[in-house]
Chains A and B, each alone.
Chain A
Amino acid sequence: MGDSAFLHFFTTELFGQWRRQAGVVLLSTILIFLLASTLFVSSSLRHSLQSALKSESDFTVQRIRGDHLLPVPMEWVDEIAALHGVDRVAPRVWGRYYTEPRGHYFLIVGIDLLEDQSQRALQKLIQGIDLRRFLQGDRMLVGPGAARWMREHFYRGSFSFLNPGGQFIKVTLDSILPRQSSLVADDMIVVPIETARKILGLREDEATDITFNVPNDDEWANVQNKVLAMHYDLRAVSKRESRAAYSRLFDFKGGFFLVLFLIVLSAFALILYQRYSQVYSREKRAIGILRALGWSIRDVLRLKLYETLSVVIAAFLLGTTLAYGYVFGLGAPLLRNIFLGSAEASTVPPLVPVMDFSVLATIFLLYGVTFLAAVIFPVWRVSVSDPKEAML
């Protein structure tokens, strides 16, 4: 088949029927946009969480009685540090702080000068801050989301926290954490460790939890068992367990959307199949004419394959571009809340752009193959029938 003549005919057909093609492209674009948005949000959150977890310590030790988390005594730090194979043992003072109006949570994180900051992510965040000056009083560094909330509620230079004892602790705003602090720091408030204890109602010999590293991977299980044996009310959670828990959560939500998408895609394929096999008599007639004028079944299928691929590629490019803009430009309104939960709605972190090409390939294959099958199979059926009948 003369390729230039064929391509000319193909483009004439494609653009000559643009109204019909535009409808299919529009529907396909919406489908791909929905799927790609979901996968972009999911990949971005997964990536941010994994980055955050990567900078976390290997183990976190908590004190738990019944279903209540209790402050950890500081002497546990020395007990854990005495174990062989354990490194960088550090107490942490942190906690969620609830405030009205509109039920809002902040994450209070205490730091001190001497502490070997267990959270490497936190270390990065406070780079460039004059810690000596910062630690001298009740001062705070706030994440972008927390800063926005305070601005919206007219807290300008300071904020008064109400501690469990009913006392107000006035803390002065020092500066705002960089926007890139993303998922881990959006609603975070970093304060000197003593200020954190006051806000959270902890004594001087208490911490929220203790973190430590075990450099030898093979020793993880061994050390974890030894730590667990120290106290009956001690819980030691490894980074791997946290990562698995987060993965399960996002796999569940991502999987839920994937199932929804497959249902919609199946419905769409069914509509296409119906259209090409029954409703679209004009299409049948055109195929019959081509066959009667010397086009073989292969020629007809080639034409329809090119046409369908053009629609699939156009819809794919449009859908993924729009989804990229919606997720990483606009911050995925609505969809983001479904993934993160509506309680976090006012301080949801910005979504960090992550481009996972395997995800894009999956969308393309999943959608493209279904679309092609839904169109090509009925076209093939018409092509192999008597051309005279197709023209009637």
Chain B
Amino acid sequence: MKIIQIYGLNRHFDNGEERFHALRDIDLEVEKGECVILHGVSGSGKTTLLSIVAGLDQPSSGEVLVEGEAIAKLPDRHLSRFRGRHIGMIFQHYNLLEEFSVRDNVSVPLIPLGLKMDEVERRCDAAMQLANISHKARQSAGRLSGGEKQRAAIARALAADPEIVLCDEPTANLDRANARRFLEILGQLHDLGKTILIATHDPIFEELDFPVRVVEMEDGRIVR
């Protein structure tokens, strides 16, 4: 079953009379449970593509279907709910709310879903356990190490139990040991049947011990 379908996608930015093409004629299909690595140098369009799949950015032209939903056409409220339920995001800079505790950060995507407090608690506990950060639940995010922040961000991405997990340069700010721990968690997510899209230029992902599809990007195009 195809969970992400992208056809004829273009994204350009206008700067005065100049036009910058971030994505050109992208066609991509991702099966449910598949792990796809978008590989390419900085500026190749990986992050822009992830942002469009997450509904954080709008395509200039083309069609993007996520779980059969044309997300670019959804109104804000529906798009926000859709993103909250179906897509987990792991950002390069973690993007945690620094003054909040790990538990409060993990609960952020659950709050708009209309869950009761005990259900929110239960899901937070499960996600923190999966990301191996339960022991830091009460600590404020600003006081965590880089690896711990990454795990808190993973727990947050998994809290709503999304089908799709999008990772933008997830190991860019991690040392080797923490990057390998991240790969282990990815393996767990894969075992849970999550669809994973990773934008990276880090060769460490070659060490993944489960099947992955590598999509090479260059100047906004898929080249392989």
Residues on A facing B (Cβ under 8 Å): 1-2, 4-6, 8-9, 12-13, 16-17, 285-286, 288-299, 386-388, 391
Determine the residue in chain B with the shortest Cβ distance to A392. Answer: B93
Q: State the CA gap A5–B91 with chains docked (Å).
A: 24
Q: B72: CB under 8 A from chain A? A: no
Quick one: given A9-B111, A386-B57, are A295 and B104 in contact (CB under 8 Å)?
Answer: no
Contact status A9-B56, CB under 8 Å: no
Can you report 27 A-B residue pairs in the complex whose CB atoms are below 8 A from each other?
A1-B113, A2-B113, A2-B119, A5-B107, A6-B111, A8-B107, A9-B104, A12-B104, A16-B99, A289-B95, A291-B80, A292-B56, A292-B89, A293-B84, A294-B84, A294-B85, A294-B160, A295-B80, A295-B111, A295-B112, A296-B76, A299-B80, A299-B111, A299-B112, A386-B56, A386-B57, A388-B56
User: Is B83 part of the binding interface, using a Cβ–Cβ cutoff of 8 Å?
Assistant: yes
In the complex with contacts A17-B99, A289-B97, A289-B108, A388-B57 CB distance below 8 A: yes
Main secondary structure of the interface of B (DSSP, over half): helix
Task: Output the nearest chain B residue to A289 by Cβ-Cβ distance.
Answer: B95
Contacts of A16 in B (CB 8 A): 99-100
Chain B positions 61 through 86: 1 when the CB is less than 8 Å from some CB of chain A, otherwise 0: 00000000000000011001101110
Residues of A within 8 Å of B97, CB to CB, are 286, 289
Total CB contacts across the A-B interface at under 8 A: 91
Q: Which residues of A contact B101 (CB under 8 A)?
A: 12
> Is B165's beta carbon under 8 Å from chain A?
no
Interface of A (DSSP majority class): helix
Q: How far is the CA of A7 from the CA of B57 in the complex (A)?
A: 30
Q: Does B54 contact A (CB under 8 A)?
A: yes
| B81, A296: Cβ atoms closer than 8 Å | yes
Contact residues in A for B96 (Cβ distance below 8 Å): 289
Tell me whether A4 and B116 are in contact in the complex, defined as CB-CB below 8 angstroms, given that A295-B111, A296-B76 are known contacts: yes
Option from B81, B99, B115 in Cβ contact (under 8 Å) with A294: B81
Q: Mark B105-138, 1 if CB is under 8 A from A, else 0.
A: 0011111111111011000000000000000000
CA distance A286 to B105 in the complex (A): 11
Interface extent on B, as a size class? 35 or more
A293/B56 in contact, CB under 8 A:
no
Cα–Cα distance between A292 and B105 once the two chains are bound (Å) = 13
Complex CA–CA separation, A23 to B114 (angstroms): 33
CB closest residue in chain B, given A388:
B56
Interchain residue pairs A-B with the least CB separation, the first 10: A294-B84, A296-B80, A4-B117, A293-B109, A296-B77, A5-B120, A388-B56, A2-B115, A16-B99, A294-B83
- Identify which of B114, B120, B156 contacts A293 (C-beta below 8 A): B156
Q: How far is the CB of A149 from chain B (nearest CB, A)?
A: 58
Tell yes or no: B5 within 8 A of A by CB.
no
Is B178 an interface residue when CB atoms closer than 8 A count as contact?
Answer: no
Min C-beta distance of A299 to chain B, whole Å: 5
Distance (whole angstroms) from the CB of A301 to the closest CB of chain B: 11
Let me know if A1 and B114 touch, CB within 8 A: yes
Chain B residues in 8 Å Cβ range of A285: 95
